[in-house]
Amino acid sequence: MSAVQGARASLGPGLRRLGTTLLSLVLSLALVGVGWTVFLEVLNVSELVAKSPGDVWAYLFTVPEAAANRETILSGLAVTLRDAGVGLVAGLLAAAAVAMSFVLWRTAERSLMPIAMVVRSVPLVAMTPVITLAFGRDLLATTVISGIVVFFPALVNLVFGLRSASPQAADLVAAYGGSAWTAMRKVQIPSALPSFFAAARIAAPGSLIGALLAEWLATGRGLGYAMLTSGSNFRYDELWASVVAVTLASLAVYALVGVLEAAVLSRYAPRESR
């Protein structure tokens, strides 16, 4: 199969995936909207505090200050998405590098995995002040914090994925005189792709949470901080609109990774993409 054909063939599942993803997105959004409204109706929470989907819509689109409101939310969201995106990429790359070194050198895994587990079990909220002392309060700090959220689940998934490669295929590479690195490239990495994307899908919303946390505790920018200040200053419409924005962004990123996954897997691991 030539590369062009392969690329064309991989487009189909990607599009199909996009369709079903969009459908399930719309469905789940409708469900969340209904649940939200019912929740407020049943509980009779003060409407000064609990805003309905209609209130959020009004805040963003129909009130006279709507344009300024949208600007507030979108500029915050842009910062948060940047923080989360950089963290996601950094976390996944780091996890991929470490996972490969684990598989290539057993000693690396034996000496580093326990450390990774210890770091993992320290609550991030408790670790954040230390991180800010070490990395400052700028993009680097948010990258480290949201990268940590991404890193550990991705690492475990990736090590598992790399190990799941067919030993016969690896043996074949060895028989033809290929090195361990060649086996990694030709056999193990392609067979770890499904695990990689499974990890990325879980990690994408996680990176947003990490970014929000970092903004709250370290940088004081983005939606993470805005949500905190709007809550304490009785700007509940802004707070609810921010929550909606983050939720939608999270769903969108999740769907995007899913589409990417379908496209790549149909090329490299046609069985899993079905």
Partner 1 sequence: MSQLDRRTLLRRGLQAGGLLLAAPVLAACGDDEPSGGGSGSGLGTLGIRLAWIKNVEFGGEFMADSRGYFKAEGFSKVDLITGGPNATPAETDVVTGKAFAGLSSPDRVGAAVLKGAPLKIIGAHYQKNPFSITSMADKPIRTPQDMVGKKIGVQATNEAVWDAFLKSAKIDPKSITKVPVQFDPLPLTTGTVDGWMSYVTNEPNVLRLKGHKVETMLFAEQGYPLVGEAIFVTTEALKKDRAKVKGMLRGQIKGWKDCIKEPEAAAKLAVEVYGKGLGLEMEEQVLHAKTQNDLILTEDTKKNGLFTLSPDLLRRNIETLAVAGVNVTAERLFDLSVLEEIYKEDASLV
CB of 28 to partner 1, least distance (A): 4
Candidates 153, 137, 116; CA nearest to 214 is: 137
Burial class of residue 240, CB neighbours in 10 A (0-12, 13-18, 19+): buried
Of 39 and 61, the one with the shorter C-beta distance to partner 1 is 39
CB of 29 to partner 1, least distance (A): 10
Of 189 and 214, the one with the shorter C-beta distance to partner 1 is 214
Residues in binding contact with partner 1, number by CB under 8 A: 35
Q: Give the separation between CA 218 and CA 216, rounded to whole angstroms.
A: 6
Candidates 155, 153, 139, 151; CA nearest to 214 is: 139
164 binds partner 1 (CB under 8 A): no
Of 25 and 93, the one with the shorter C-beta distance to partner 1 is 25
Of 114 and 129, the one with the shorter C-beta distance to partner 1 is 129
Of 19 and 167, the one with the shorter C-beta distance to partner 1 is 19
Question: Which string of b and e fits 174-193 if b means at least 16 CB within 10 Å?
Answer: eeeebeeeebbeebbbebbb
How large is the C-alpha radius of gyration of the chain?
22
Q: Which residue from 9, 220, 252, 270 is in contact with partner 1, where contact means CB under 8 A?
A: 220
Residue ranges binding partner 1 (CB under 8 A): 16-17, 20, 24, 27-28, 31-32, 35, 39, 42-46, 48-49, 129, 133, 137, 216-220, 225, 228-229, 231-236, 274
